[in-house]
Amino acid sequence: MAPSSVRWLSRNDVAETNLSFASALDIVDATLRQHSDSAFENPPKIGIHPKQGSFIHAMPGWLPSQSRAGIKWIASYPGNHGRGLPNITGLLVLNDPDTGVPVCVMDASLLTAVRTAAVSAITSKYLSPHHVARIAVIGAGIQGLYHIEMLSLIHPAAEFQIVDINENAISRLLVNLRSKATIVHVKEAEVAIRAADVVVTATSRLEDVAFQYGWAKEGSLVLPVHARGWSEDVTTASDKLLTDDVEQFKNYMFADGSPYRDISRVLGSCSDVVAGRLAGRVRNMDRIVVFNLGLALHDIALGAAILTIAEGRGLGSVVSY
C-alpha cells in the first residue's frame, strides 16, 4: 500500500496562513459562479441537535473545476461563551478526489467566520442599493468583526453602525478590527436598522423575534446570518427574496421547524444573480432579503486556498494516515 499523509492545521495555523480578505472575496465570487453553472455537488446540510438551541451539521461538497472535495463538521453552541468556549467550533476535512484519501484536517471556526462574511459582502456587491451610506451590523462577536472587514472592502465609504448588548464586545471588536471603516456604536437595533442601506444580523441563533422587518427602510438589503430572529413578514413583505441555495434553504427550514409560515416567494439563488441569470436589484427602492445559510462549496474552496498556503510555508503538522 502506498504511504499517505494528512496535514493538520490548528486554529493558529489557519490564522497564520493569513489568507487576505480580498482573496477570500474573489474565491467566494468565483465559487458562486460555479454554483450557478451546476458544476458542483453540495447536498443539503444534515445535522443533529444534542442540546436545545444548538446543532452540529455535516456539510459535504465537491468542486470539479478545482478538483477539491471535502466535508465540514461544524457545531454551533450559543451557550459556550458562559464556559469560556467559542460558540462555533468545527473541522474541515479535504480529500483527494482521485482516491478519497484525506489530505488535510483543519480547524473550521475561523474559516467559517471568513466564509460567512465574504458571502455577505459578495451578496451586497450585487444586490445593495446604488449608494450605501450606512451599514447596520447587529452583533459585535466574531461574525460582526469579519462582516465589517469584508463589507468595508465592498463599501469603503460606508459608516458602520454596530449594536450589541455587551459593551465589552464592542470594545473587543474595535481592538481587533483591521479595517479603517468608520464605526459608530448604536444602542438600539431598531435605530440602526431604520437608518441602514445594508443590514446584517450577526447574532447567535435567536428563538424569539428580535427584529421587525418593518424597520428596514425602502431600498435596503437585509442579510440575516442566522435564519431566525426576524418577524414573519421578512419572507412575505420583501420585494425580492433570495437564498444561497434554494433546495438547501427549503430543506433546512422544514427540518429545523421554520419560524416563517410562508417561504414560497424564494425567487432563486444568489449565485444566479452573480452569473447574470437572474435579475438582481431592478429598482433602487426595492427591499431585498437574502438568507445565506452557508454552502460547503465556499468552505472547501477557501480551505483549499488555505491548504495551498500552508503547504508552501510548511505550516501545521504532517502525520501518517
User: Would you say 304 and 235 are in contact if contact means Cβ atoms under 8 Å apart?
Assistant: no
Q: Give dist(CA 31, CA 66) in Å, integer.
A: 10
The whole-number pLDDT of residue 114 equals: 96
The DSSP string of 154-199 is H-TTPEEEEE-S-HHHHHHHHHH--S--EEEE-S-HHHHHHH-SEE
| 208 membership: H or E segment, kind and range | none
User: Kind and range of the H or E element at 128?
Assistant: none
**What pLDDT shows up at residue 260?**
85
β-strands 266-269, 198-201: how paired?
unpaired
**Coil, strand or helix at 221:** strand
Residue 138 has φ and ψ, to the nearest 5°, of: -95, 110
Predicted local confidence at residue 86, as pLDDT: 87
Triad 191, 230, 72: Cα angle to 5°: 115
**Residue 2, pLDDT score:** 56
* Contact in structure between 54 and 74 (CB atoms under 8 Å): no
Torsion of CA 59, 307, 113, 160, to 10 degrees: -140
What is the pTM (predicted TM-score) of this model?
A: 0.93
d(CA 225, CA 148): 13
Q: What is the pLDDT along the chain (321 residues), one digit of tens a residue?
A: 456 899 999 999 999 999 999 999 999 999 998 888 777 899 988 889 898 888 899 999 998 888 899 999 999 898 888 888 888 899 999 999 999 999 999 999 999 999 999 999 999 999 999 999 999 999 999 999 999 999 999 999 999 999 998 889 999 999 999 999 999 999 999 999 999 999 999 987 788 899 999 999 999 999 999 888 999 999 999 999 999 999 888 888 877 677 888 888 999 999 999 989 999 999 999 999 999 999 999 999 999 999 999 999 999 999 998
Cβ atoms of 78 and 53 closer than 8 Å: yes
